[in-house]
A and B are shown apart, each in its own frame.
Chain A
């Protein structure tokens, strides 16, 4: 965004109208819920192998409950990710990254921001698509089967993990390397001492 446009707003040292960014906090929910949803579906599919382990640990476990976790966690991930992406776009529009550095992946700030923005929309579509796919498996196709999910769905989930790793690393680089929305980094850039100003 054009710096003179950003100056039209009354912003804090971090370049936001509030103390800490919202997007990274919603990211905890998106990633946690999605990854655990796929994880528990894998536990459900492999249940015959695990039965003796749960018995040994004296934890009562029913196969269908793991598929419940897989479904409800995925549904929650889809709902929350709309807010994650919305908050992300708000905060990326106010970003003023360090211009003279390259990330550990050899990208400059603008490239990193563009890939992270596009990646976020693609991930939202994929998560919603996975939720719809999962819903069909639960309520239509595999309704009366002991095994609720298909291997292709789980493999797609693992593929999305890889995409999430790359996407998340870009986001981490925007913060920890380009200093986006980090008060201390932005104070250092204008020659101030955070140790004196952030008491």
Chain B
């Protein structure tokens, strides 16, 4: 079966560069900006910003599922060495969790918006701030995987193929 799959390059990928870190732009930036717009909108009573927040959240929800799919593919090809494994496991667990959490928050927002698009209850802001905390932690774990452990970078893939990590 494996002969039908494309060959892996020096990043251990079937395509030139990692895609997951690109797709997550649209989760990180949109969630952060949605919460920022809600907070500014709440305190300045600018209801336009609630709409900006809602559409950004919608976009984040679509994006996170694509991010998880590419994340799974690239985690599966990452061949993490022992030191990197716990971080990759936790990043995977929180990634799936976030897909559910962001979808649920967007669903809640949908109902609030259908009922009255011009007001936002304070608890929603509170949940937004908690969501920020979760997103920041997840970004930090992803940063560790790339910038500390170097998964999918040429030197690490090469070392892994040569058995340096054994």
Contact = CB atoms under 8 A, between A and B. Distances in A.
Contact of A185 (B21, B114, B153): B153
Nearest to A29: B29
B154 A176 contact: yes
A76 interface: yes
A146 to B, nearest CB: 16
B159 A68 contact: no
Contacts of A59: 110
A195 B150 contact: no
A138 to B, nearest CB: 12
Interface residues of B, number: 48
Contacts, number: 146
Contacts of B48: 65, 68
B156 A194 contact: yes
A69 B11 contact: no
Interface in A58-81: 59-60, 62, 65-66, 68-69, 72-73, 76
Nearest to B63: A32
B131 to A, nearest CB: 16
Interface of B is mostly: helix
B130 interface: no
B43 interface: no
A184 B147 CA distance: 8
The main secondary structure of chain A at its interface with chain B is helix
B25 A179 contact: no
A59 B155 CA distance: 48
Given A194-B81, A194-B156, A188 B164 contact: yes
Contacts of A108: none
Given A179-B150, A185-B156, A195 B165 contact: yes
A198 B84 contact: yes
Contacts of B21: 24, 172
Interface of A: 14, 19-21, 24-25, 27-29, 31-33, 35-36, 39-40, 59-60, 62, 65-66, 68-69, 72-73, 76, 98, 101, 104, 168-169, 172-173, 175-177, 179, 181-185, 188-189, 193-196, 198-199
24 contacts: A20-B147, A24-B147, A25-B139, A28-B28, A29-B33, A33-B33, A36-B26, A39-B59, A59-B110, A65-B55, A68-B49, A68-B52, A73-B33, A172-B18, A176-B17, A176-B154, A177-B153, A179-B150, A179-B153, A183-B147, A183-B149, A188-B156, A193-B164, A194-B159
